[in-house]
A and B are shown apart, each in its own frame.
Chain A
């Protein structure tokens, strides 16, 4: 019996050394602790469960391995005959219950904290659509789309995790996110903040984060985590955290940029563009924004993403064409670009679509036409 006990203890300690070495030595094999109180809480809870599970494995698998070695037919030709024991069965029903209670308690405490979005200091509306995020700062007049940066090469450390416009938030501030969607269900996840919330069309969900001051200047990256169609893997979430002063400066810059953009748009609308200029800007815009679905050759991927070459809309009246680009189409993946592109870009892209790939309508659509359409004239 003494030998057996030593052997069990030996196997147990060996296993725990192997496992702990494995878990701790290579931190990239484990969950990220993240930077917020809740993400660290989730990490601690995760580690706690891992250790409990390791302990249970050592006991259960240890007993099995012991059996394999000492109760094999060559060692133990006559099997025992017991086939039940009420007391033993009672014990191993009770012990798991005790372990579960032990695990549940911290989980409940953490969950209560995570679900408490009250007393927040600022709110951002996060809207998912196929396949980009839109951020709207409710206290400021700031809103923008955040698209995947498709220029990065595969070996770039931020491949698929970089966007054109990052979400910017201040440190040491309880930021509330109101999450919703425009088409299908998406899910907004930043692992380092332990924030994951489904974005559901028609409904809003709230979640929050509060990043300690020492993380000012850092960038946190995540991805959409609910299958949302073709480019589900291509809509990252990137959050940049600034100190409170830097954040104020950023808000100011953003406002200046908006005013400048409005001015530029007005100037562009006032000017009359010739065909070549429209076609050139149209092609760049098309390849960047439209080619993913309608394909660079205009053939699309019917029936979900229709061909634009010889399409009824691209060869029909310009107004219908402008309508679908500006407003999108209900119940399809065609998003509303009215707020995503400038009037000039829209005019250019529509002109391009009406003349490329042998569509040759000869029409030009001017930024002024877009402006007029948006105004309802």
Chain B
């Protein structure tokens, strides 16, 4: 084996190897996931019962803001980039990512961006406290001094995501093995390609938004300041023009993951491959024309509300196609339920529940009752936790044998799954009820009538937090002393990474391109 590679710290600092970078992304996102999770624990501890017990309201707002920012930009997005790094070259039969040096850059920016963001917690006036959506003028005129660090941090992580996206697009377009036509690519590659296009379309808009914030704060412009002729509602329009596609950026790669795993454990080809590709593309396209459904309460003209309501409801159609295709893939398959499959099934069911509440929220006249309540919190946690995070977890269990050559303990995996399943629902399902009962989001204290729901949610959240520690232990044990994995660990697995590579995959993949028929 000519599989030499440098060792020690410099290996990681200077590496241009897609596997090393993928691992770093995944571990980084896991660390961020634990930090963001710790903040969620602070939030849930405070909300465990009515009355202010642990933190004062301003710090509570800092926690909700930082929890959102870290989970979105630090945990979910980097974990998806980590999966892309590991899997895309292997799945398209490429030796590495197309732009390996840029790949190194795009990772190493992240620790600095998040150190900057986290350091704001220790600054005078505290961390950003205006919610992850940073609506003006609360974030501009009224923002704490650390807002400038937040702006710089967002710029840095934006640049990182953009570089990651460029890398994916160039790899997919230029590095495919001969014979690997676009419509033969695994669905994970497809969903990531579409995600990458969304990223390069909307991350610059986010960068533009925070740049305008910066000039509003320090250079006398008034983009969002009514007194100077600006408009705070315009901030929301521009933010959600980024923000809605961003939602799909977080979920589409997870769609790709379960579209790989469900066929593998059904021992049956994915049902409706091409309709899956078209559905993903239409979800991405629709995401550009639905942004204002986040802001029905700002007072839009009737025609605008109708347009955004109907466009949003349309998204249910391609999303439904995907769900039906997954079900049809399982139909008359030969199913087994290993951990990755369990997480993927939970993904389909719970994501669908999140989709249902999404359709409800899309309907403007009822949205006035749901908007900015815990119903919304329940909705987006249902699509993000059992969606994006279960998707990533399923991917980690599924490809761990390929990445490390070691198998996790199936019993531990199943325990992890059932704990996650129970606690996710215990945490987030009661939030539907507290929202319907009238509890606004982002409040540190509440009336007795919301007490039971919040207590259950908090208990669930603490359980969910501990479950992540269990996940970490399971992973570490698997990597250090797991059983040796087979080259094709899963009977029904397909794709180049399983058919053409040993486990663990060699440090340099496909020096000569594989043949694809």
Contact = CB atoms under 8 A, between A and B. Distances in A.
14 contacts: A28-B437, A61-B349, A76-B335, A83-B269, A191-B369, A191-B438, A196-B369, A200-B226, A203-B299, A225-B440, A232-B57, A233-B440, A303-B145, A304-B58
B366 A107 contact: yes
B444 interface: yes
Nearest to A95: B320
Given A64-B348, A111-B364, 9 more contacts: A42-B365, A79-B268, A89-B275, A100-B317, A103-B363, A198-B299, A200-B226, A225-B371, A333-B142
A95 to B, nearest CB: 8
Interface of A: 28-32, 38-39, 41-42, 45-46, 49-50, 53, 56-57, 60-61, 63-64, 67-68, 71-73, 76-85, 88-89, 92-93, 96-97, 100, 103-104, 107-108, 110-112, 114-115, 154-161, 179, 183-185, 187, 189, 191, 194-198, 200-203, 205-206, 222-234, 301-304, 330-333
A225 B366 CA distance: 15
A111 B360 contact: no
Interface stretch (B74-82, B445-453, B495-503): B445-453
Contacts of B306: 108, 111
A181 to B, nearest CB: 9
A200 B233 contact: yes
B371 A303 contact: no
B50 A303 contact: no
A231 B270 CA distance: 51
B436 A159 contact: no
B266 A79 contact: yes
A203 B58 CA distance: 27
A92 B324 contact: yes
A227 B138 CA distance: 9
B124 A303 contact: yes
B271 interface: yes
B141 interface: yes
B425 to A, nearest CB: 14
Contacts of B138: 184-185, 227-229
Interface in B422-446: 433, 436-438, 440-446
A125 B336 CA distance: 63
Nearest to A90: B275
Interface in B279-319: 295, 297-299, 302, 305-306, 309-310, 313-314, 316-317
A97 B313 CA distance: 9
A161 B450 CA distance: 12
B419 interface: no
A57 B356 CA distance: 9
Contacts of A60: 323-324, 327, 352
Contacts of B275: 84, 89
Contacts of B336: 72-73
Q: Find the residue from B144, B353, B368, B371 having the highest chain A CB count within 10 A.
A: B368
Contacts of B266: 71, 79
Given A100-B314, A223-B443, A233-B446, A67 B438 contact: no
A331 B443 contact: no
A96 B273 contact: no
Interface stretch (B129-137, B169-177, B478-486): B129-137
Given A29-B436, A234-B57, A205 B372 contact: no
Nearest to A92: B324
Given A103-B313, A107-B364, A68 B348 contact: no
Contact of B371 (A53, A78, A196, A231): A196
A303 B299 contact: no
Interface string B324-349: 11011011111111000000010011
Closest 5 CB pairs of A and B: A202-B226, A233-B443, A205-B299, A80-B332, A83-B269
B373 interface: yes
Contact of B368 (A42, A155, A184): A42
A202 B141 CA distance: 14
A31 B142 contact: no
